[in-house]
Amino acid sequence: MNQYRKPINVVLTIWAISILLSLVLPFFAEESEVLQDAKNLKIQVESLKIDLDRKKSSSDVSEDEYSKINGELSVLDKKATTIIQSEQLESEWNWYSDLVVPLSSLVVAVFGLYYNNKPNKSLHPTASS
């Protein structure tokens, strides 16, 4: 079993490093383009709503046109909000799947190797009967 100890240690070390990197790297990640575009769209929709309200108050837009345009802007705003929420959920940190599962599987593997490599006293040449 000693011949397998070094390759197994290398694999476990690589696995541990990859787990640590996967835990740390999301904190340094930039926002995705989709999320940035959705935020920009939401800002533009809000500014268009403000402009539309100004035009309505100055009587440049009829009530029917205002209702139609405001409805379309509301739909765009809801879609942008949905996209923002879904993108933020994708990048959200989940304790269970991001930390507990990988670390517990690593602990189980290490303890399994440790107990598997312990010498069996009944077969050990110096063990007394």
pTM over 0.85: no
Coil, strand or helix at 30: coil
Q: Which pLDDT value is given to residue 111?
A: 72
Mean pLDDT of the chain: 79
Q: Which pLDDT value is given to residue 51?
A: 92
Q: Which pLDDT value is given to residue 69?
A: 92
Q: Which pLDDT value is given to residue 39?
A: 94
Coil, strand or helix at 53: helix
Q: Which pLDDT value is given to residue 10?
A: 77
pLDDT in tens, 55-114: 888 888 888 989 999 999 999 999 999 999 988 887 776 666 767 777 777 777 777 666
Q: Can you tell me the distance from the alpha carbon of 46 to that of 77, in angstroms, rounded to the nearest whole number?
A: 8
* Comparison of pLDDT for 122 and 88, the residue scoring more: 88
Contacts of residue 69, defined as CB under 8 A and 6 or more positions apart, other chains included, come to 52, 61
Q: Which pLDDT value is given to residue 128?
A: 53
Tokens 């539309």 sit on residue: 52
87: left (phi over 0), alpha (psi -120 to 50) or beta: alpha
pLDDT band (50, 70, 90) for residue 1: low
